Structure 1
């Protein structure tokens, strides 16, 4: 048998709706890095409108702002994560890392110690 690997996805929900997963996490991190919703959206291949809708949905579900926004002008606007958004990402990282560790251990317990079954005799 070829070697197997385990993969899992973790996301947070609020009121049964997605709140934070891989895509929205990446969006927040890119906004933090690039200082712009538009630049982050472009980097991800999203329209500004789609990125904005993700952000607005997250803020509505949490009831707190995740971004501090400065409107554009001659020098352009700027967006930065709020302390709440940074804390959310930090907790999400800890959750995902902890779950991955547990999943890897469980996988090793179940799959890594298994040996290939003996080959069945071939009919003559």
Structure 2
């Protein structure tokens, strides 16, 4: 899976089609969009990330990464005071409040294993289990 979103792939295709149209409309003959090109765009689209990735604070993302690394169950992640594992660092009150008030977004990021960091816009993807 790439870091391209569905929108990125769509915009690439639109740009390619616009270039082909401009070339056909001018003096030259534009390059044909081959079947292989079409299949490549469809494959890129299928592999692209959703446009509406959950956006979460960096601290919350680090908490998800930690929880996933220890195979903590999602319901336990909502009650961090019950977790006693090596490497667990207490959450700030702001992070706890965000998790509770944004529980659907938190759960979606947990389930997808991918999110956008609120502070930087960076996309974080958890490695698939091997």
Whether these two folds match at TM > 0.5 is no
* Structure with the higher fraction of residues in strand conformation: 1
What is the TM-score of this pair, normalised by structure 2? 0.29
The structure whose RCO (Cα within 8 Å, separation 6+) is larger is 2
